[in-house]
Structure 1
Amino acid sequence: MPTPDNGPAQGAVDLISNLRQLNGTFAAREQKVADFVSAHLEEISGMTIAELAGAVGVSTPTVVRFCRSMGCDGFREFKLRLAQNLAVSLQYLAPSHRDVSEGGAGAVDQVLGALYATVNVMRQQIVPERMDAAVQALTEAGQIVVAGVGGGSTMVAQEAANRMFRLGIPAVAVSDSYLLQMRAATLGTNDVLLLVSTSGAADEVVSAAGIAGGYGATVVAITRPGSRLAQEATIAIEADLPEDPDILKPTASRYAHLVIVDALAMSVAQARSEATTENLRRIRASLTAYHGRTGPQPLGD
């Protein structure tokens, strides 16, 4: 059983998980506090320690002991941590309407529905002149560093680098925040830093944009309109993409970002058609020599 003397069994990062895991292990009076808190999660932030103690029927020192058992220094920190948890956790805790999948085909239909809706929203927001400017910068780039931080953005950045190196332009994907700052500092006037960020608020990408731009590199950002990253970029390809309220569906915004990446890659390939065609031929020839297969394969891959 956690006690103030021995220290809490859990840290104070995720109080909701702590509350569930420690349930039944508290001293009797602290358990009463735990039961009340569990049943009134959204109300605690508006209560004083005296009000909570009175509602539960315990003393204020008991409330303090409970907070320390939960990994907090006292009631003030407990309220703050709980409010932070709830800000991001309520959509996962509250019951919500979810589409019922009818087998594998139903799941495919649900994913496709989210994909179509998101990509259509993106299509209506794209500014052609910015796409053209990005294509010109990428076509003339001496090298391209692509970066994204987080699951979806990292995947899109890796695919963007994968598309670009095939066109005969040195390209590398970066997801490590420190390496990104270093890479950004090596770029110059003929280089491009391509950043992917759904929120446009990640400190790592905003900082890298400022560094690369300061050394004269062109910063192309695929991000949210008006975000910190959009304001820092040389060319901002902006789209405010909705997310499905069903938390069990994978995020669809990455599909829209992949469409933008493919459109950029295709346009750059067309602008450099002679070099691109020769590069793709060499790639295909090298793979055929490596694995010996000569049957139909994706021509642009």
Structure 2
Amino acid sequence: MIDLKLREVKKDLSAKELEVAEYIIAHSQELKNVSIQALAKLNQVSTSTILRLCNKMGYRGFSDFKIDLISSLPKNVTNDILQDDIHLTDDLQDVNRKVLIVEKSSIDETYSMINPDELNNAIDLLINSHKIVIFGVGSSGLVGKELEYQLIKIKKDVNCHFDAHISRNIVRSLDSHDLVIIISHSGETPECIELLKIANQQSIPSIAITKMGQSQVSGLANIVLHTISTEHVSRLIPIRSKISQITLVNMLITNLFIKQYDEKLKFQTQHRKARKFPHLK
């Protein structure tokens, strides 16, 4: 788990932060009773450096960091695709095998990065919001459309447009009882940043589904749900990021359905077959 988070934020770390992170990984078994002051002294850095590292890795503080470090158990994860891209010379079976490994590892890693408190807060926002605007560019937009479709099932007033101009106009009509959801793999999509700035100006709550680490999107959103950022195969085929986003959306929607399960949803579930296949009666 710690190794995964370090990999996700590595490029955002300063030289000193990276040294501390690597020290922690190398000495994880010895850190159970080490204070932040002692760790700072061991690495000849300030405690603020360690706190910045913890924040960049998605922790609220050093205590949360240590709890996760101590509770993390080694996992047998295959590395044959994580170290090796899909090549043009690969035959059909090799490509299929590698795609399968990429998808499986993407799901596992996304699950490992879920912050339960943030997810619960996001679900509560979805439940209580009057109107919802979802926006993403490219494949992130397609994931946004899937989220829109699922929210429509529970009668939410939701819009997901690929046109940034339309989305801007809709967001400008919202208020503090509504919600903006931004999906951005990089966290630096200009249209997404602009929508979040508008949301902040109007005190509209916001959720960002984006990579772990520092980005303008994660800095502007009220709630951040992390997806994996590494993309080992060509970005022309964004398998890892797309699977990670879809996995997170499925977790969000499934938990939302459970929280909102009532007689109306029960009726819809029980009569779904009759609605979809009336000719089978």
Q: Same fold (TM over 0.5)?
A: yes
Partner secondary structure for residue 277 of structure 2 = helix
Q: How far off is 1:264 after superposition?
A: 0.7
Superposed CA offset, 1:70-121 (max 9, x none): xxxxxxxxxxxxxxxxxxxxxxxxxx87275443x44322211111222222
1:211 matched to 2:234? The reply is no
Q: What does 1:1-301 correspond to in 2, within 5 Å?
A: 98=87, 100-103=89-92, 105-150=93-138, 152-224=139-211, 225-246=213-234, 249-274=237-262, 275-280=264-269, 285-289=274-278, 292-293=279-280
Counting matched residue pairs gives 195
Partner secondary structure for residue 129 of structure 2 = coil
Write the distance in 2 (CA, Å) between the matches of 1:177 and 1:171: 15
Q: How far off is 1:168 after superposition?
A: 2.0
Q: Which has the larger radius of gyration?
A: 1
- 1:97 to 1:252, Cα distance in 2 relative to 1, 3 A: closer
Q: How far off is 1:183 after superposition?
A: 1.4
Q: How far off is 1:140 after superposition?
A: 1.3
**Structure 1 gap ranges (5+):** 1-95, 295-301
Write the distance in 2 (CA, Å) between the matches of 1:192 and 1:111: 35
**Structure 2 gap ranges (5+):** 1-84
Superposed CA offset, 1:131-159 (max 9, x none): 11001100112122111112x10110000
Superposed CA offset, 1:138-192 (max 9, x none): 0112122111112x10110000101111022122211111111111111212211
- 1:293 to 1:156, Cα distance in 2 relative to 1, 3 A: farther
Kindly, what percent of the aligned residue pairs are identical?
18
Q: Is the 8 A contact 2:118 2:223 kept in 1?
A: yes
Q: How far off is 1:280 after superposition?
A: 4.8
Q: How far off is 1:293 after superposition?
A: 4.5
Superposed CA offset, 1:57-77 (max 9, x none): xxxxxxxxxxxxxxxxxxxxx
